[in-house]
Structures are given as C-alpha cells and as structure tokens.
Structure 1
Amino acid sequence: MVDRTIGIHSTCPPNRRNLAAFTLGVFFFVVALLGKANAGGGPEGVFLVVNSKSNDSITVANHYISLRDIPANNVFYLPWNPRSKITSPKRFRTEILQPIIEEINARHLGGQIDQIVYSVHFPFAVDYRAELKAKEIKTPSSLRAWTSLTGATYLYQFTLGEHIELFGLNTNFYCPPLETSLKRSRAFNGQSHWKQGGISDPKEGMQYLLSTALGVTYGDGNTVDEIVSYLKRAKQSDYTRPQASVCYMTNGDIRSRVRSRTFESAVAELRKLGVEASIIKGKVPSGKQNVIGLTLGTPKPILTGSVGLAPGALVDNLTSFGGAFHLSTKKRGQTLLTHYLRNGAAGASGTVIEPTANPNKFPNAALHVHYARGCSLAESFYQSISGPFQLIVVGDPLCQPWAKPKTLAMKEKLPRVVSGKVRLLPEVIPASLDARNSAKENGTGSNAGANPMLGYEIYLDGDRLGAIPPGEEFDWDTTQAADGYHRLVVVGVEKSDVLTQSRWSKDLLVSNAREAIELHLPGGDQYRSEEELELKIESTLQEVAIVTHNGQELGRLPNGTGRLRVPAEKLGKGPVTLQVHTEGNPGVRSRPVLLEIH
C-alpha cells in the first residue's frame, strides 16, 4: 500500500487583497501516489466526522453512510458536547480540526481525502473576538470576527496557522474571477495547489478541503427526520439531468442589487448548457415549480406553498442571518437556510453572523453553472465563493444531478472468491452494449458522455491501492489483505475539466489461509433503540476478535469466539453495519451484518 500522509508545508502565498507575504507552518497533503487522486465527487474522498456523544449525530451519519457507501475507514467518531453550538478558536483547533487532520494521517488517507463532512451537533460557528482582543489584533468594526464551521475547515491552512488572513474576502483561490468561472468549471482535489486568479499548480499555492455539514438541528434548524429526508431526496437526483429551471431573483433590496449585474451572463451560459434559466423580478418565484436552482436577495423569503423545488435543488440567499442558529426567531427576523432544506433542497448556505452585504462572502452567479456542468454540490459552492469564512454550507456534498458517469465492467470476469494474484482490467462498456449490460455486477452509469477516460483508481474497503491508465491492468496481491469479506471498487475518472467519476464495485471473499470468522445476530435484524443486541462470534483462529460499527470498536473477545452484548442506543438509529475482524495481520474479516434500529 502506498503511504499517504499529511506533512508540513512552510510557505503559503498571500491572498488577493494585497496582503503582505507571510510564512507559516501548516498542514498539507503530500501526494505520494501512482497518479492524481480522484476529485471531490466520490465517497472515497469524504472524511465523515460524527459526534460520538450525540445519538442524533450517529443516526444522521448511519443514513448518510448507507446512502453514499462511505467506507468505514472514512468515518471518524469525535466526542463533542452537543449543547456547545458556538466555540472558541482554540477549542475548534485543538478539539475538532487538529484531531481530524491527525486521524486522516493515522489512517494513511492523506492522498485521497478531498472533503471533511460533519454530521449534526458540532458547533456551527467559531467566535474569534476574545482571541483577537487577547492578541491585540485590531480589526475593522465591520469585520464581525466569526467563522462558520465549514468555512474554518475549508480554510484549514489559515485556521491551524492562526493567521488573520482567514478573514480575507479573497482567500479562496479555487474560486476564479467570475468571468473565468462562467466559461469553465473544474473538479476539486484536496492535493491540488491553487494560486491567485484560480490557477491550479502541482506544487505551489494554497490548499483547501471542501467542507459541508449534513445538517444543523440547533434552534430553528431541521429535525433528524427532515435531514434524512432531504439527504435521500438528494441522492435520488444524481445523474438524472433534470428538466428543471434556475431562477435568479431581482428586487430593489441591497441584498439583491449587489449581485444582480452578473445574472444575465450566468443565465446565458446556463441556456447554452440546455438548462432553463431566467431572471425574475420579486422576492421568490411564486407559483414556479420544478426549480433546481434559486438565487435570492431578501430577508424573509418563504417557499412553502409557493415554490416547488426539484430534487437536487440548490438555494442561495444573500441576507444577514441565514446561518445564525444562535438567534431567536424574533431577534433574527430572517429566514434560516434550513427552511429551504425543509422544503426539499439538497443544499443551502447562509452566514453565521452579519456579513454587511458583501457579495464575496456569498456564492456568485456561477454557482448554478458549475452544478449544471456536472460538478458536485460541494464543488459548485466553493468554486463560487471567494471569501467563505462566514458562510456555512449545509446539505449533501456529493449530490450531482448533471454528472454523466459511464458504465464500467471488467474485461475478465472476477470470481466471488479470490486468492493469490488477481488481474484487474477495467473498461468502459460501449454505449451500444450498455442497455444490455446495465445490470452487470455493480457498474453504474449511462455512457452518455463522449469524453475518454483519464484513468482508473482501485480501492479495497475504501483504501486506495493504486491507479492505472486506460488499457492497462492492475495486479492485486490478495495476500496483503485479510482473509474474509471485502468490497473492491474501481473508480473511472473521465478526461474532462470536471473529472466525472464512474464506478464499478463487487463484494468479494478473499481466501488464502483458509481461515474464517463469522458474526451472527440470533435476535434478527430489526431492533428498537432501547433493546440490547446479542452478538455471536465464531472463529477458526484463537486470536483477539474485534467487533466494529463503521470502524468504531464495540467490544472484543480474547479468544476469537464467544458472545457480546451491545446496547442498541449506542449505535444510533437507522441502517447499521457491523463487522468483526481478528487483531492479527493481515487477519480475518467477517461478512458485514446489516440491521435496522428504530
């Protein structure tokens, strides 16, 4: 396995507001790979952070893991007081962001993670006022020294380096000038470097990590059921290329006027892409149905009963307190971003503190253009925000209604049981054969796109084994994997600006040493949260057996065989996957056991 670590980078470029050059020690991803890791549109690039002290956080994560096939090794259970919805910079750095970076490093995932995604019950905002005062750093009264959870994570180099440039209005070099954005969209890669003007460089420049929150439940936020509902709806919109419309609203409010001059160019570009788009006078497009993109500029837009959002919809409203979950309804006096998610949006954003109507803190008009070109939800948002420090982005980061994946297959059929050296030779099924072979194993896509493949990446249980160019084979040495059950995934990366991913997967049994371990649930696969699960483990090896839930240890048996009891409430609600493996190297793994907790 190629080692992928997070190292130390000594310099970063200044941001675009004529700041003096600065030097800092920050964390960045070292690319020690056979090829470039995939872009921000697949589950292998997600690092999902779950609050281990919150049943709601675990429940939302259970559903998202099931919906998006997030590998167990990409799930991190991090303890946080669920009632602590705003935190200090020091606590955010030392108790949240730094442990996340260290865990990615410890799991050797540095070369493949593109985004950090939070489940519910993490602080939605970071209050910098006391820290800046203690450091005697003076800031303009209009600055409002707060950052959002996702903004501070995306700008992780500034955050961990404790640099005031975090609050810059042009710190996001992945977001190019608007005129460039309207002409070209690009995939995000956590290992890429970005220079001023939106220029990608293989060695020099800033690095970022896409970041979104799956949901927010604080104050007038969404319920867990609402979050699960819109995440499911978002997943259903993938690859549908919806016949839906994008609406840019204009009115006399400053919230609308600061961005409205750019709307015409965006509408023209969307129409070139075959997407219905229009500029409409008013606060909301009343009576409009099947809306996939909505850009607003008004304090109290209400969609319920007046606007029908299509699955996969993005909603962006420039107003002061769209993400201010600490304020009461009366004090806030404005519509929260969670209103749009409650009404079926896949993603929405809002500032956590007064932004003083600065358009750099909000998505520009190219947001919907990037989305229509096949970028993921997270890529579309961050390609269009030049100063994201106060904006919280909430929803399903992997949602891709306009992506056009191809159908992949193996030239040589892979048996269910494998051993020794296995030759993998992935290929794209020709469009003429696609309809007849669409059910072939687990290759998904339509082959509607004409772009050739850039290459293929091979993953085992979410860990990247390597990469190959089209037409070449990959020799997989199964003796390096534990005997037992694994999921093999091949990700095909399209040769295009947005690097659309296509996927093939198969569940396999590795059998080299002829050893085995099994996990059984005598009580069946349906449980209430107040019940206790009885787990029965049987192994041919007398080695320590460890039972896990998404990689988190639940218990162990010293001799490999026996029974364990686990409270169901410890696992959250929804779909749950359990697995047992032995402590030896490479060890033995059981078949995953699926159950549902109500």
Structure 2
Amino acid sequence: MVMPSSAEQAKQLTGNNVLILFKQNDSLSRKIADYYAQKRDVPKSQLVGIKLSKLNNSTISPSQFADIQQQIKPYLTDNIKVLLLTWHAPYRVGCMSITSAFSLGYDEKYCSHNKKNLSGCHVTANSPFFNAKPQQLWQSDSIRLSMMLSGRRFEDAKELIDRGIKADNSQPNGEAYLVRTQDAQRSTRWRMFKKFADIWPEQKGINIHYIDDHLRINGTSIKDKNNILFYLTGYTQVPDIKTNHYLPGAIADHLTSTGGAGISSQGQMKAFRWLEAGVTGSYGTVIEPCNYPQKFPNAQILIPSYVDGDTLIEAYWKSVQQPGEGLFVGEPLACPWCH
C-alpha cells in the first residue's frame, strides 16, 4: 500500500498556524488577542501589534494597507496559514474587505467598482481557494486565510471563542435552514438552496430544511428552533434570530448589501448580530456587491466541506467564489467534525 506524501495529506489547522493581529493602543483588541492565544495555544511570538494612524476608521487606503503588510511580513513564516484580526474597524481596504485584502492581496480585480467599472453591477475575479481540495492550503505558500474576531464587549468575543473550542470534534446532530424569503433581490441563492436540499441525503445527522416563502406576504421568520447548525437566508434584517438555539460551531449569514460593514446597529443587519445570537461564524459584504450569488457562501460547498472535517475558516472560504468584497467573521479553528 502506497501512503500519500506529507504534501498530499490534508492537515488540521491548530494554534501554531495562526498569526493574531491586534491594534496597538486598543485595549479591547489586545485583550481578545491574548485570550484567543491562551485558549488556542497560539505561541506568543505569533501575536503582532499593528500600528494604525487612526484606530477607528472603517476604511483604510491601499497605501495604508501596504504599510500594514510590511509590518507583518517578518512574521509570515511557512507555518502561518491563518490571519486572525481582533478588531472590528477597519473592516475595509479601498474597495475590498480587509479579510480578503489580507488573503488575496489588494487588487481591484476583486472589486465590482474599480477604475474600469466606476458604476453599475459587475462580477469580480474568482478566489484561488474557491472549492479547493483540502491539501491546497498546505501546498501553497501564497494562501493564507483571514478572519475577523471581535465584539462590542470583551464578553461577546470570549463567548464566541469558547463556542468555537466547544465545537471541536463534537460530531453534532442538528438542523440546516436554507431560506428563500419574499425579498427577491436578496434571495438569489434560492436555486442553490433548493438543489442542495433535493440531492443531499441526511448525513452525519444534518437535516436540511429548504423553506420557500417567496409568496408569503407577512415575511419569513425562523423562530424558536433548536440545534441549528446552518442558517442561510436573504434579508436586510433577519427577524427573531435570538429566539433560536445554535449549536457550537454553527454558521449563519444573510445576503444583503452591507452586512459586513462594521459592528453598529445602524442600517442593514450586520454579520456580528449572528455572532451575538450564538452563531460561531458569519459573512457579509462591506460595499455594494449587487446580488450575485457567487459573492456569497454556497451551501453546496459550505456544508459538505464543514461536515467532512474542515475548520470553519476553510469551509467558509472554500464556499465563496468571489469574496473580494466580503468579510469573514467568527472563530476560525472551530471544527465540529474533525477526524
């Protein structure tokens, strides 16, 4: 029997593979970084304070981002596969999300609106990690996945980290809700949802519920549900999310224009509301992406990748074809189905 080489084998991410970036002169950012490092056994040498001239700006320029890249360059050793940002602002670099800028490099080909396309709706370049094989992360020195982990209070971030750790190897049984709402503009993923629900047999105790409420006048509410592991929908404001019980490691997101644009309660519902409701990972765009489904997580890739043993960050990144404008938030190493 011929065994695969180490380069061919998929490995499991650990704290040794994480570089934590915190904001200097920001006590909350540093406190979250320290707690994560302690709980996930991240070496102290892999905590890096970032100098930012204006700590709380939502957007930084490409030149400011280039300066940050130079600051962290000495720490990007071969073992580093995950960049974890312990802040919630800045969340955007020029026309890209900051997590995608760290992972893909700042490049306007990942933006709808750039020098070639100043207005209108446009697709962007694809991610090299889209639907990637498990070993690809380890075979490429250029791929590092990025995620933001923060909260309005330290307690919010602490509970999120604890949920991620509790998820590890829990082998949960639970529910997945894939919801088509009456908001047609934000339900463009519904065909993917329906197809996946039709072809997915019950595996590892995951029950898929495709909810089609596009003709419902009074709106859609997934309320008072238990043991949720996945909840994907499309709305500007998703109602009743705090009435549900989410299992550790749960993933949820909603297709809308600016779900990744910060942590405030103003405007469209932010991805951070999912985390506050008890979810472990979420996603939202930081700038108008238009409603291309390929700019948002694809359940047909996300769910199988996660239940096959990927960490949360791997499964989430794999599932988005064009993530240039999208922000990934949550606890990256959560791994409910680790082998």
Pair in the same fold by TM > 0.5:
yes
Match of 1:264 among 194, 197, 202: 194
Match of 1:41 among 10, 13, 24: 13
Query: SS in structure 1 opposite 2:200?
Result: helix
Equivalent in the alignment of 1:24:
none
Shift of 1:266: 2.6
Is 1:280 matched up with 2:211?
yes
Match of 1:154 among 91, 103, 108: 103
The CA RMSD measured in Å over matched residues stands at 2.3
Shift of 1:281: 3.1
Are residues 172 and 304 of structure 1, via their aligned partners in 2, closer, same or farther at CA, if it must alter by over 3 Å?
Answer: closer
8 A Cα contact 1:302 1:335, kept in partner: no
Query: SS in structure 1 opposite 2:237?
Result: coil
8 A Cα contact 2:103 2:144, kept in partner: yes
TM-score (norm 2): 0.85
How much identity, in percent, do the aligned residues show?
Answer: 25
Query: SS in structure 1 opposite 2:189?
Result: helix
Distance between the aligned counterparts of 2:326 and 2:234, measured in 1?
15
The within-5 A match list for 1:572-587 is none
Equivalent in the alignment of 1:174:
129
Equivalent in the alignment of 2:119:
none
Query: SS in structure 2 opposite 1:350?
Result: strand
Deviation track 1:424-447 (CA, whole Å, cap 9, x = no partner) reads: xxxxxxxxxxxxxxxxxxxxxxxx
TM-score (norm 1): 0.50
Equivalent in the alignment of 1:113:
80
- Report which of the two has the higher share of strand: 1
Residue identity in the other structure for 2:273: H
Equivalent in the alignment of 1:380:
315
- Report which of the two has the higher share of helix: 2
Residue identity in the other structure for 1:307: N
Distance between the aligned counterparts of 1:150 and 1:346, measured in 2?
17
Residue identity in the other structure for 2:200: E
Equivalent in the alignment of 2:153:
223
Are residues 115 and 369 of structure 1, via their aligned partners in 2, closer, same or farther at CA, if it must alter by over 3 Å?
Answer: same
Distance between the aligned counterparts of 2:280 and 2:66, measured in 1?
29
Distance between the aligned counterparts of 2:174 and 2:137, measured in 1?
29
Structure 1 alignment gaps of length 5 or more: 1-33, 128-145, 194-206, 405-598
Equivalent in the alignment of 1:395:
330
Residue identity in the other structure for 1:175: F
Shift of 1:342: 0.4
Is 1:192 matched up with 2:133?
no
Are residues 302 and 213 of structure 1, via their aligned partners in 2, closer, same or farther at CA, if it must alter by over 3 Å?
Answer: same
Distance between the aligned counterparts of 1:261 and 1:230, measured in 2?
31
Residue identity in the other structure for 1:115: V
Distance between the aligned counterparts of 1:191 and 1:101, measured in 2?
20
Are residues 35 and 293 of structure 1, via their aligned partners in 2, closer, same or farther at CA, if it must alter by over 3 Å?
Answer: same
Deviation track 1:210-253 (CA, whole Å, cap 9, x = no partner) reads: 000112x5xxxx32211111111121111001111111011232
8 A Cα contact 2:256 2:291, kept in partner: yes
Query: SS in structure 2 opposite 1:360?
Result: helix
Is 1:54 matched up with 2:26?
yes
Distance between the aligned counterparts of 1:68 and 1:85, measured in 2?
28
Residue identity in the other structure for 1:148: S
Are residues 317 and 212 of structure 1, via their aligned partners in 2, closer, same or farther at CA, if it must alter by over 3 Å?
Answer: same
Shift of 1:327: 7.2
Are residues 48 and 191 of structure 1, via their aligned partners in 2, closer, same or farther at CA, if it must alter by over 3 Å?
Answer: farther
Structure 2 alignment gaps of length 5 or more: 112-122, 214-219
Distance between the aligned counterparts of 2:263 and 2:147, measured in 1?
19
Is 1:97 matched up with 2:69?
yes
Distance between the aligned counterparts of 2:280 and 2:184, measured in 1?
27
Distance between the aligned counterparts of 2:11 and 2:35, measured in 1?
23
Are residues 113 and 191 of structure 1, via their aligned partners in 2, closer, same or farther at CA, if it must alter by over 3 Å?
Answer: farther
Distance between the aligned counterparts of 1:67 and 1:84, measured in 2?
29
Are residues 213 and 275 of structure 1, via their aligned partners in 2, closer, same or farther at CA, if it must alter by over 3 Å?
Answer: same
The within-5 A match list for 1:427-466 is none
Residue identity in the other structure for 2:91: F
Paired residue total: 314
Distance between the aligned counterparts of 1:186 and 1:84, measured in 2?
36
Residue identity in the other structure for 2:134: R
Equivalent in the alignment of 1:86:
59
Instruction: Mark the structure with the bigger radius of gyration.
Output: 1
8 A Cα contact 1:320 1:354, kept in partner: yes
Deviation track 1:393-429 (CA, whole Å, cap 9, x = no partner) reads: 111000001112xxxxxxxxxxxxxxxxxxxxxxxxx
Residue identity in the other structure for 2:144: L
Query: SS in structure 2 opposite 1:246?
Result: strand
Is 1:346 matched up with 2:277?
no
Deviation track 1:482-504 (CA, whole Å, cap 9, x = no partner) reads: xxxxxxxxxxxxxxxxxxxxxxx
Are residues 262 and 326 of structure 1, via their aligned partners in 2, closer, same or farther at CA, if it must alter by over 3 Å?
Answer: closer
Shift of 1:165: 2.1
